[in-house]
Amino acid sequence: MANTVEPGNNAPNFELPNANDSSGGGTVSMSNVIGDKGGIIMFTCNHCPYVVGSEPRIENIAEKARESGLGFVGINSNDPVKYESDSWDNMVKRASRGMSYPYLHDEDQTVAVSYGAERTPEFYLVSSSGTVVYRGRMDDSPRDPSHASTSDLSDAIDELLNGKEISNPRTDSIGCSVKWKL
């Protein structure tokens, strides 16, 4: 993949349709995601067992983000032709089951390509100035929280909010591959 956004790079802009009416529907842009203290961009999907196993913890991270002045958004870039469970209609259904954050559809996959996203779930923590300060996983056991021995994303959030340098700005994401149209 030609583009890869790493810590220290600016987060690419986007404007995508939101499948989650309870979070405002319409379209959401990068400027809508970045809160007073920054934001979190998560590449996700409907079918990946790593995403499904992480849903309660993802909601906890989204709540922590909101309470701390960080925006939070999920982006589904998977090919819905190959994976019908990732279609717009199925995104709307998933969002209606209590998702608290915007759930965006990257139908042409340009946002995933611009970020160099590789996995679901994969997280980008962005400062209020638009600089990526962390890229990677939530923790080391997305399918089973009882086996998690790290809290990489949460640690990075705490460091950002406390004005500290991110001690571990890049971790390898654990999850399913993005399902490309190619």
Which domain CATH number covers 90? 3.40.30.10
Give a yes or no: residue 95 inside a domain: yes
- Examine the pLDDT at 86 and tell me if it is beyond 70: yes
Give a yes or no: residue 8 inside a domain: no
Give a yes or no: residue 124 inside a domain: yes
Q: Average of pLDDT values for 32-49?
A: 96
CA distance 16 to 24: 13
- How much is the pLDDT for 3? 77
pLDDT in tens, 93-107: 999 999 999 999 999
Give a yes or no: residue 6 inside a domain: no
Q: Residue 136: which domain range? A: 25-177
Total structural domains within the chain: 1
Give a yes or no: residue 1 inside a domain: no
Measured in Å, how far apart are the chain's first and last C-alpha atoms? Answer: 12
pLDDT in tens, 133-171: 999 999 999 999 899 999 999 999 999 999 999 999 999
- Examine the pLDDT at 2 and tell me if it is beyond 70: no
Q: What are the DSSP calls for 91-104, one per residue?
A: HHHHHTTT--S-EE
Angle at 57 between CA 55 and CA 61, to 5 degrees: 115
Give a yes or no: residue 155 inside a domain: yes
pLDDT in tens, 69-82: 999 999 999 999 99
Strand bridging mode 70-76 / 103-105: parallel
